[in-house]
Structure 1
Amino acid sequence: MNIKSFFKLAEIQTKVASVVPFLLGSLIAIYRYSSFNIINFIIMFVSLLCIDMATTVINNYVDYKRAIKKYGYGYEEHNAIVRYNIKENHVVSVIGALLFIAMGFGVILYLRTNIIVLLLGAFSFFIGVIYSFGPIPISRTPLGELLSGIFMGGIILFIAIYIHIIDKNIINIAVVETNINLAFEFKEIIIIILLSIPTISGIANIMLANNICDREDDIENRRYTLPVYVGNKLALKIYKWIYYIAYLDLVALIIIRAEPVFSILSLLTFFIVNRNIRIFEAEHIKSKTFVLSVKNFLIINGVRVLAYGVSILAFKL
């Protein structure tokens, strides 16, 4: 296995789905809380990237092992194991190595922070594995879009903020004798949830677009995804409205001044994204238009990253 086949196996181009929420969360920590820890930033980045790649490799391996339809783009071109004739034992070794590194750096991050990071990280790690592995992987159910959006777009963003602001005490867990006391700042948690909706929406729609494109193959391979259950017509409506909800959320965030004023630029991306939605509605083919969902995610949240960066330079330095 060479570096090219490894990157294809791990689908390195899709890692923006986890890296962007991570970067955005770190910028929010600087802008909103005036706090940043470079060591925690690096440790989380390594752990996050490895678990994301491991999840993708597991997904490709499970698809390869369980495939009933063994021809066409989805099997012969999209799955790197087939395309590059990668040995199964090499794939298993890669999965083991990535999981080991992810867990190791995750433990280090916990030792530098607190049990909140351990609990959220361990739960995310567990969901990441069962997303692609087990008797009924989450990716093969109608819950794939929802859970991938919440964990990759929401939990990652929250942890990326929290590792920098542990001293702000927005969440506290205390064990007193036989009782566990949980305290949190309700306002801040709600704002962070609202801040994460555009990333949650974008990632959910990457998964939804993928499943819309693969619907016919998924039926044949017994993958019972959301589009398989509701049909492409309704799935495309859901796809469109998920983006619209993200923009409505951004409007609300700007009005309540939880988002920098420069994020108004994010609203202007609506016209580009809406055009891409129409193109995808007209022709949803994996090799041609799936990439539009990734572009939409980057357009919306990439501009947010830029807006936060400019705001930090203008107002925080």
Structure 2
Amino acid sequence: MKKWGELVELRTKLASILPFLLGIGYVLATWHRLNLVNTILFGLAMLAFDMATTALDNLMHYRHAKDAAYRQHVNIIGRAALTEHAVIAAIVALVTVATGLGLWLVWRTDWVLLVLGMACFAVGLGYTWGPLPLARLPIGEVFSGVTMGLGIPFITVYVNVPATRFLAVRLAWPDLSVTGALPALAGLCLIAVMPMATIANVMLANNLADLSEDTRNHRLTLPMYLGHRASRGVYLGLAVIGYFAVVAGVVARVLPTWSLVCGVSLPAVWHHAQVFIAHPDKTQTFHLAIQNLVLANGSLLAGLVIAAGVSA
């Protein structure tokens, strides 16, 4: 179980669980309803696929590593003497579970969810797999942040709210019509800035801390293109942009006032961000990026839960 936990990096699953919970919080605060079956199905499918992509990421890093010490002592596959066959079998099993649950959910909702799910699968599998993995381009943070930070809350809302009250897409060939509730869509997009930015920052922090290791293994990441100074500026900006989005949403009256509760975490988040950029290190300071992910999104979730309780 310990090896399994390290292979799928269970400690990083907060990056998908928190956006999922934010989506639930937004549904409760805005529509005061929850489709429990759809929510559970999506939650399980999302976790299974997240674990599959993480295991695939470790497999690809192991296969393509140029540094023998990394393969034998750092990567979990070499360190735990796992066989590639066993890892591939685990990945296939997880993807199969995620696909089965996803198709069941499509059957319970509509074809739009199939398109959304396929797009998320493409990004997740293409992050480290294929002829040109996204992780080897300076856009990995963008794709991971948007897919998880916006895609997960969006699908969470979509499977819980009737299409006529959120977003409806109708195809009657050759005509395609899209209708939606703009305040609800705008509110969700502004809520999603927080998880998008903090998830992207976890990826950026990981790449900053692994800069020397990535250089040895010929992995090109965003910090290599931007340089240390610009990367640290981006990190600080992403640490706080979610708070500005929430304020904008409250001012525009598309988010409940209680969302501003998230502001209580801002001083700690800013302090952690400054400590990390002063000394990016995987063992000593990387945990601060994870803490910021939890603090920022957790405080926003608390505000949404309070808003749901007050207006219920």
Q: TM-score, length-normalised on structure 2? A: 0.95
Asked if the contact 1:54/1:95 (under 8 Å) is kept, the reply is: yes
Asked if the contact 2:250/2:256 (under 8 Å) is kept, the reply is: yes
C-alpha distance in 1 between matches for 2:185 and 2:254: 12
Q: Which residue of 2 aligns with 1:41?
A: 39
Overall identity of the aligned pairs, in %: 30
Asked if the contact 2:183/2:254 (under 8 Å) is kept, the reply is: no
Q: Which residue of 2 aligns with 1:233?
A: 229
Q: Which residue of 2 aligns with 1:151?
A: 147
Partner deviation per Cα, 1:96-130 (whole Å, 9 max, x = no partner): 00000000000001111112211111110111000
C-alpha distance in 1 between matches for 2:177 and 2:255: 31
Shift in alpha-carbon separation, 1:30–1:274, aligned structure 2, 3 A:
same
Q: 1:9 aligns with which of 3, 7, 10?
A: 7
Offset, 1:268: 2.0
- Asked if 1:91 is matched to 2:102, the reply is no
What is the 5 A alignment of 1:270-281? Answer: 270-281=266-277
User: For the aligned residues, what is the CA RMSD?
Assistant: 1.5
SS at match of 1:298: helix
Instruction: Note the residue ranges of structure 2 that are not aligned, 5 or more in a row.
Output: none
Offset, 1:77: 5.2
What is the 5 A alignment of 1:1-317? Answer: 3-71=1-69, 75-76=71-72, 78-316=74-312
Alignment-mate amino acid for residue 82 of structure 2: I
Asked if the contact 1:174/1:182 (under 8 Å) is kept, the reply is: yes
SS at match of 1:145: helix
Alignment-mate amino acid for residue 104 of structure 1: G
Q: Structure 1: which 4+ aligned runs deviate by more than 4 Å?
A: 75-78
Asked if the contact 2:109/2:159 (under 8 Å) is kept, the reply is: yes
Partner deviation per Cα, 1:142-169 (whole Å, 9 max, x = no partner): 0100010000000111111111102434
C-alpha distance in 1 between matches for 2:128 and 2:164: 36
SS at match of 1:269: helix
Q: How many residues align?
A: 312
Shift in alpha-carbon separation, 1:177–1:312, aligned structure 2, 3 A:
closer
SS at match of 2:13: helix
Offset, 1:140: 1.5
Alignment-mate amino acid for residue 80 of structure 2: Y
Shift in alpha-carbon separation, 1:313–1:189, aligned structure 2, 3 A:
closer
Asked if the contact 1:173/1:182 (under 8 Å) is kept, the reply is: yes
C-alpha distance in 2 between matches for 1:167 and 1:142: 36
Higher deviation after alignment, 222-231 or 258-267: 258-267
Offset, 1:257: 3.7
C-alpha distance in 2 between matches for 1:246 and 1:178: 39
C-alpha distance in 2 between matches for 1:4 and 1:59: 18
Partner deviation per Cα, 1:233-255 (whole Å, 9 max, x = no partner): 11011000112211211221233
Shift in alpha-carbon separation, 1:281–1:251, aligned structure 2, 3 A:
same
Instruction: Note the residue ranges of structure 1 that are not aligned, 5 or more in a row.
Output: none
SS at match of 1:25: helix
Higher deviation after alignment, 11-20 or 77-86: 77-86
Offset, 1:296: 0.3
Offset, 1:174: 1.9
Shift in alpha-carbon separation, 1:50–1:116, aligned structure 2, 3 A:
same
